[in-house]
Chains A and B, each alone.
Chain A
Amino acid sequence: MASYDKAILPGGEGKIKIQVQTSGREGLLEKTASIYSNDPGQPTATIRVKAQIKPVIILTPTHLQLSAQKGAPVSGEVEIKANIDKPLILKPGLFNLAERLTYTLVELEKGKKYVVRFKRAHGLTEPLQGYLYLETNYPEKPEVTIFIQCNLIQPNSKVRP
Chain B
Amino acid sequence: MKPFKKLVLAGMAGIFLFYCSADPVPTFAAPKLVLKEEIFDFHEVMEGQTLEHDFVIRNQGDQPLTIQDVKTG
Contacts and interface: CB of A to CB of B under 8 A. Distances in A.
A16 B70 CA distance: 8
A159 interface: no
A4 B56 CA distance: 10
A39 B35 contact: no
B70 A54 contact: no
Interface string B19-61: 0000000000011110101111111111111111111111111
Given A14-B57, A38-B65, A47 B50 contact: no
Chain A contact patch, size range: 35 or more
Contacts of A12: 58-59
Contacts of B73: 31-34
A6 B66 contact: yes
Nearest to A10: B62
B2 interface: no
Interface in A34-66: 34-42, 45-56
Contacts of A6: 66-67
Contacts of B50: 19-22
Contact of A10 (B40, B46, B61, B72): B61
B71 interface: yes
Among B54, B55, B73, the most chain A Cβ lie within 10 Å of the Cβ of B55
A8 B72 contact: no
Contact of A51 (B30, B45, B61, B67): B45
Contacts of A22: 45-51
Interface stretch (A96-104, A108-116, A136-144): A136-144
B55 A18 contact: yes
Given A17-B53, A51-B51, A7 B72 contact: no
B57 A9 contact: no
Contacts of A47: 35, 37-40, 55
Interface in A97-152: 138-141
A24 interface: yes
19 contacts: A8-B31, A8-B58, A8-B65, A10-B62, A12-B58, A13-B58, A17-B55, A20-B50, A20-B51, A22-B47, A22-B49, A23-B48, A32-B72, A38-B31, A38-B68, A45-B33, A48-B39, A56-B47, A141-B48
